[in-house]
Chain A
Amino acid sequence: GAVVSQHPSWVICKSGTSVKIECRSLDFQATTMFWYRQFPKQSLMLMATSNEGSKATYEQGVEKDKFLINHASLTLSTLTVTSAHPEDSSFYICSARDGSDYEQYFGPGTRLTVT
Protein backbone atom coordinates (compact mmCIF):
# COMPACT_ATOMS: atom_id res chain seq x y z
CA GLY A 1 0.00 0.00 0.00
CA ALA A 2 0.83 3.72 0.09
CA VAL A 3 1.96 4.08 -3.50
CA VAL A 4 2.61 7.47 -5.07
CA SER A 5 3.12 7.89 -8.79
CA GLN A 6 4.54 10.77 -10.78
CA HIS A 7 4.18 11.59 -14.42
CA PRO A 8 6.21 12.10 -16.49
CA SER A 9 9.32 10.40 -15.12
CA TRP A 10 11.49 12.61 -17.29
CA VAL A 11 10.91 15.54 -19.59
CA ILE A 12 13.00 17.74 -21.84
CA CYS A 13 11.61 21.12 -22.79
CA LYS A 14 12.77 24.31 -24.43
CA SER A 15 13.48 27.45 -22.50
CA GLY A 16 10.38 29.61 -22.12
CA THR A 17 7.86 26.79 -22.25
CA SER A 18 5.78 25.41 -19.36
CA VAL A 19 5.84 21.90 -17.99
CA LYS A 20 3.24 20.18 -15.83
CA ILE A 21 4.14 17.35 -13.46
CA GLU A 22 1.45 15.17 -11.90
CA CYS A 23 1.61 13.45 -8.54
CA ARG A 24 -0.99 10.84 -7.64
CA SER A 25 -1.64 8.80 -4.53
CA LEU A 26 -2.87 5.48 -5.86
CA ASP A 27 -4.25 3.69 -2.83
CA PHE A 28 -4.82 6.30 -0.15
CA GLN A 29 -6.21 9.77 0.25
CA ALA A 30 -3.44 12.34 0.46
CA THR A 31 -4.61 15.20 2.62
CA THR A 32 -1.20 16.81 2.30
CA MET A 33 1.24 16.72 -0.58
CA PHE A 34 4.76 18.07 -0.70
CA TRP A 35 6.89 19.13 -3.64
CA TYR A 36 10.67 18.89 -3.42
CA ARG A 37 13.50 19.80 -5.72
CA GLN A 38 16.88 18.14 -5.64
CA PHE A 39 19.97 19.31 -7.49
CA PRO A 40 22.81 16.86 -8.16
CA LYS A 41 24.65 15.75 -5.03
CA GLN A 42 22.44 17.90 -2.81
CA SER A 43 19.70 17.03 -0.36
CA LEU A 44 16.00 17.47 -0.86
CA MET A 45 14.75 21.02 -0.78
CA LEU A 46 11.11 21.52 0.12
CA MET A 47 9.43 23.86 -2.34
CA ALA A 48 5.85 23.89 -1.11
CA THR A 49 3.24 22.12 0.96
CA SER A 50 -0.31 21.77 -0.29
CA ASN A 51 -3.46 20.65 1.42
CA GLU A 52 -6.40 19.45 -0.63
CA GLY A 53 -8.70 22.27 -1.64
CA SER A 54 -6.54 25.10 -0.36
CA LYS A 55 -3.67 27.20 -1.64
CA ALA A 56 -0.17 25.85 -1.38
CA THR A 57 2.27 27.19 1.19
CA TYR A 58 5.55 28.04 -0.47
CA GLU A 59 8.95 27.98 1.18
CA GLN A 60 10.99 31.13 1.32
CA GLY A 61 12.71 31.85 -1.96
CA VAL A 62 10.35 29.76 -4.09
CA GLU A 63 8.42 31.86 -6.61
CA LYS A 64 4.74 30.99 -6.39
CA ASP A 65 4.02 32.53 -9.80
CA LYS A 66 6.66 30.39 -11.42
CA PHE A 67 5.88 27.11 -9.69
CA LEU A 68 2.12 26.71 -9.78
CA ILE A 69 0.74 24.03 -7.50
CA ASN A 70 -2.79 22.70 -7.64
CA HIS A 71 -4.11 20.11 -5.19
CA ALA A 72 -7.65 19.79 -6.48
CA SER A 73 -8.45 16.33 -5.15
CA LEU A 74 -7.33 13.96 -2.42
CA THR A 75 -5.39 11.89 -4.94
CA LEU A 76 -3.87 14.43 -7.32
CA SER A 77 -1.53 17.37 -7.10
CA THR A 78 0.15 19.10 -10.02
CA LEU A 79 3.24 21.26 -10.26
CA THR A 80 3.54 23.51 -13.30
CA VAL A 81 6.91 25.08 -14.01
CA THR A 82 6.06 28.18 -16.03
CA SER A 83 8.46 29.84 -18.46
CA ALA A 84 11.11 27.26 -17.66
CA HIS A 85 14.79 28.20 -17.83
CA PRO A 86 17.90 26.00 -17.83
CA GLU A 87 18.47 26.74 -14.13
CA ASP A 88 15.12 25.04 -13.42
CA SER A 89 16.60 21.75 -14.60
CA SER A 90 16.42 19.49 -11.58
CA PHE A 91 14.92 16.35 -10.07
CA TYR A 92 11.40 17.14 -8.82
CA ILE A 93 9.94 14.77 -6.25
CA CYS A 94 6.50 14.77 -4.69
CA SER A 95 5.44 13.07 -1.51
CA ALA A 96 2.08 12.53 0.09
CA ARG A 97 0.74 12.00 3.56
CA ASP A 98 -2.68 10.94 4.73
CA GLY A 99 -4.23 12.49 7.78
CA SER A 100 -3.41 9.68 10.16
CA ASP A 101 0.20 8.95 9.31
CA TYR A 102 3.31 11.03 9.86
CA GLU A 103 5.22 9.23 7.17
CA GLN A 104 5.61 10.82 3.77
CA TYR A 105 5.33 8.46 0.82
CA PHE A 106 7.49 9.52 -2.08
CA GLY A 107 6.82 9.41 -5.77
CA PRO A 108 9.58 8.17 -8.10
CA GLY A 109 10.53 11.69 -9.14
CA THR A 110 10.56 13.63 -12.41
CA ARG A 111 13.80 14.67 -14.04
CA LEU A 112 13.34 17.98 -15.85
CA THR A 113 15.90 19.21 -18.37
CA VAL A 114 15.40 22.65 -19.87
CA THR A 115 17.45 23.34 -23.00
Chain B
Amino acid sequence: GQNIDQPTEMTATEGAIVQINCTYQTSGFNGLFWYQQHAGEAPTFLSYNVLDGLEEKGRFSSFLSRSKGYSYLLLKELQMKDSASYLCAVADSNYQLIWGAGTKLIIKP
Protein backbone atom coordinates (compact mmCIF):
# COMPACT_ATOMS: atom_id res chain seq x y z
CA GLY B 1 0.00 0.00 0.00
CA GLN B 2 0.91 3.64 -0.21
CA ASN B 3 1.80 5.45 2.96
CA ILE B 4 3.07 8.86 4.01
CA ASP B 5 4.10 9.37 7.64
CA GLN B 6 4.77 12.64 9.40
CA PRO B 7 4.45 13.71 13.04
CA THR B 8 1.02 14.90 14.09
CA GLU B 9 2.15 17.94 16.01
CA MET B 10 5.34 19.81 16.89
CA THR B 11 6.07 22.80 19.09
CA ALA B 12 8.93 25.24 18.67
CA THR B 13 10.03 28.63 19.94
CA GLU B 14 10.03 31.86 17.96
CA GLY B 15 13.45 32.47 16.43
CA ALA B 16 14.49 28.82 16.66
CA ILE B 17 14.87 26.09 14.01
CA VAL B 18 12.52 23.16 13.52
CA GLN B 19 12.75 20.09 11.27
CA ILE B 20 9.61 18.28 10.14
CA ASN B 21 10.23 14.76 8.89
CA CYS B 22 8.30 12.79 6.30
CA THR B 23 8.76 9.15 5.32
CA TYR B 24 6.98 7.56 2.41
CA GLN B 25 6.24 4.29 0.68
CA THR B 26 4.56 4.74 -2.68
CA SER B 27 4.09 2.92 -5.97
CA GLY B 28 6.52 4.95 -8.03
CA PHE B 29 8.01 8.32 -7.28
CA ASN B 30 7.81 11.50 -9.30
CA GLY B 31 8.73 14.02 -6.67
CA LEU B 32 7.88 15.15 -3.17
CA PHE B 33 6.05 18.33 -2.29
CA TRP B 34 5.75 20.35 0.90
CA TYR B 35 2.74 22.58 1.37
CA GLN B 36 1.82 25.00 4.16
CA GLN B 37 -1.78 25.27 5.25
CA HIS B 38 -3.12 27.84 7.70
CA ALA B 39 -6.35 27.01 9.48
CA GLY B 40 -9.37 27.54 7.25
CA GLU B 41 -7.28 28.19 4.16
CA ALA B 42 -6.15 26.15 1.17
CA PRO B 43 -2.60 24.77 1.01
CA THR B 44 0.16 26.90 -0.47
CA PHE B 45 3.19 25.46 -2.22
CA LEU B 46 6.52 25.54 -0.40
CA SER B 47 8.90 23.19 -2.21
CA TYR B 48 9.36 20.36 -4.68
CA ASN B 49 12.19 17.80 -4.58
CA VAL B 50 12.70 15.13 -7.20
CA LEU B 51 16.46 14.60 -6.85
CA ASP B 52 18.38 13.74 -3.69
CA GLY B 53 19.77 16.61 -1.72
CA LEU B 54 18.88 19.89 -0.10
CA GLU B 55 16.88 22.68 -1.72
CA GLU B 56 17.10 26.01 0.06
CA LYS B 57 14.58 28.80 -0.36
CA GLY B 58 14.96 31.63 2.10
CA ARG B 59 14.12 30.52 5.62
CA PHE B 60 12.77 27.20 4.37
CA SER B 61 14.81 24.24 3.11
CA SER B 62 13.70 20.80 1.99
CA PHE B 63 15.77 17.63 1.84
CA LEU B 64 15.17 14.38 0.00
CA SER B 65 16.71 10.92 0.14
CA ARG B 66 14.99 8.63 -2.36
CA SER B 67 16.88 5.54 -1.24
CA LYS B 68 15.59 6.02 2.30
CA GLY B 69 12.11 7.21 1.33
CA TYR B 70 12.69 10.23 3.52
CA SER B 71 12.34 13.98 3.38
CA TYR B 72 12.42 16.82 5.83
CA LEU B 73 11.36 20.44 5.84
CA LEU B 74 13.63 22.76 7.78
CA LEU B 75 12.31 26.08 9.00
CA LYS B 76 14.80 28.62 10.34
CA GLU B 77 14.32 31.84 12.30
CA LEU B 78 10.81 30.83 13.17
CA GLN B 79 8.14 33.51 13.21
CA MET B 80 4.72 33.40 14.79
CA LYS B 81 3.14 33.42 11.32
CA ASP B 82 4.80 30.06 10.65
CA SER B 83 2.23 28.45 12.94
CA ALA B 84 0.36 26.23 10.47
CA SER B 85 0.01 22.68 9.26
CA TYR B 86 2.73 21.39 6.96
CA LEU B 87 1.69 18.76 4.46
CA CYS B 88 4.03 16.31 2.78
CA ALA B 89 2.82 14.85 -0.53
CA VAL B 90 4.41 12.42 -2.97
CA ALA B 91 3.62 12.21 -6.68
CA ASP B 92 3.28 8.52 -7.54
CA SER B 93 3.86 6.76 -10.84
CA ASN B 94 0.65 8.30 -12.23
CA TYR B 95 1.68 11.75 -11.01
CA GLN B 96 -1.16 11.64 -8.51
CA LEU B 97 -0.40 13.24 -5.16
CA ILE B 98 -0.47 10.99 -2.12
CA TRP B 99 -0.92 13.18 0.96
CA GLY B 100 0.37 12.83 4.48
CA ALA B 101 -1.95 13.75 7.34
CA GLY B 102 0.00 16.94 8.00
CA THR B 103 2.08 18.21 10.91
CA LYS B 104 0.60 20.96 13.02
CA LEU B 105 3.40 23.32 14.02
CA ILE B 106 2.83 25.48 17.08
CA ILE B 107 5.18 28.42 17.59
CA LYS B 108 5.54 29.82 21.10
CA PRO B 109 6.96 33.25 21.94
Instruction: Report A's interface with B, CB cutoff 8 A.
Output: 34, 42-46, 49, 91, 93, 102-109, 111
Contact = CB atoms under 8 A, between A and B. Distances in A.
B99 A102 contact: no
Interface stretch (B15-23, B36-44, B61-69): B36-44
Interface of B: 30-31, 33, 35, 40-45, 48, 87, 91, 95-97, 99-102
A42 B31 CA distance: 23
Given A102-B91, A102-B95, A43 B42 contact: no
Contacts of B43: 44, 93, 106
Query: What are the 10 closest A-B residue pairs judged by CB atoms, nearest first?
Result: A106-B42, A43-B101, A109-B42, A43-B102, A93-B42, A44-B99, A108-B42, A106-B43, A43-B99, A102-B31
B101 A106 contact: no
A41 B13 CA distance: 22
A46 B45 CA distance: 17
A103 B48 contact: yes
A106 B38 CA distance: 13
Contacts of B35: 106
Contacts of A108: 41-42
Contacts of A106: 35, 42-45
A109 B37 CA distance: 12
A103 B45 contact: yes
A7 to B, nearest CB: 14
B29 to A, nearest CB: 12
Contacts of B31: 102
Contact of B87 (A44, A102, A105): A44
B50 to A, nearest CB: 8
B24 to A, nearest CB: 14
B97 A104 contact: yes
A31 to B, nearest CB: 11
Contacts of B30: 102
A25 to B, nearest CB: 14
